[in-house]
């Protein structure tokens, strides 16, 4: 939370936007969570504890956070978006178990290297990517 709010504040200042209570709350909450969460969860969490913000504000703030690069919007194939902090945490991808819904996070250096080479080869300037693997986790593939 320390430099995180600082970063967000700077981002907001640059575009003459204001650092409000609602925005602070959303930011704190998402950085409090260990993994990815959906907008609705975030809204419910906030409502349960400290601040009572509207869903609209949650979505609007999430957009800002994604745009600022501090939060990553991920699609785990549930028909709606999930969000996770992008800073202070190694870049990683997801393996989603289609049976139990478990999400395994992973990262792979070789793969990242391949990705970079690939983009260079195609003259493509890589700014982000989405990579999810679907299948069955160790538990579920046994059955």
What does 60 interact with, of DNA, a second copy, none (CB < 5 to 8 A by kind)?
Answer: DNA
Cα–Cα separations (whole angstroms), residue 43 to 48, 56, 81, 125: 9, 10, 14, 35
Two tokens, residue 95: 């393996």
- Rounded to whole angstroms, the Cα distance separating 11 from 123 reads 30
Sites for a second copy among residues 81-110 (CB under 8 A) = 95, 97-98, 104, 106, 108, 110
Q: Which x/- pattern over 38-77 shows residues binding a second copy (rule: CB under 8 A)?
A: -------------------------------------x-x
- Contact call for residue 137 and a second copy (CB under 8 A): yes
Piece in contact with a second copy (CB under 8 A), picked from 2-10, 38-46, 54-62, 111-119: 111-119
Maximum CA extent, the chain = 56
Sites for DNA among residues 52-111 (CB under 7 A) = 52-57, 59-61, 63, 79-81
E-assigned strands of 32-102? 37-38, 71-74, 82-85, 93-97
Contacts of 5 (CB under 8 A, 6+ apart): 19, 24, 27, 28
Q: Which x/- pattern over 12-51 shows residues binding DNA (rule: CB under 7 A)?
A: x---xxxxxxxx--------------xxx-----------
């Amino acid at each position: 939370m320390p430099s995180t709010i600082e970063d967000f504040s700077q981002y907001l200042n640059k575009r003459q936007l204001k650092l409000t209570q609602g925005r602070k709350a959303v930011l704190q909450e998402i950085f409090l969570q260990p993994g990815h969460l959906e907008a609705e969860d975030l809204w419910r969490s906030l409502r349960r504890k400290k601040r009572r913000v509207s869903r609209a504000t949650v979505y609007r703030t999430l957009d800002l956070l994604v745009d600022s690069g501090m939060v990553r919007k991920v699609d785990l194939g549930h028909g709606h978006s999930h969000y996770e902090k992008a800073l202070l945490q190694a870049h990683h991808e997801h393996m989603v178990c289609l049976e139990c819904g478990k999400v395994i996070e992973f990262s792979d250096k070789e793969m990242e290297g391949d990705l970079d080479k690939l983009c260079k080869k195609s003259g493509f300037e890589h700014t982000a990517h989405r990579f999810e693997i679907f299948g069955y986790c160790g538990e579920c593939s046994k059955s």
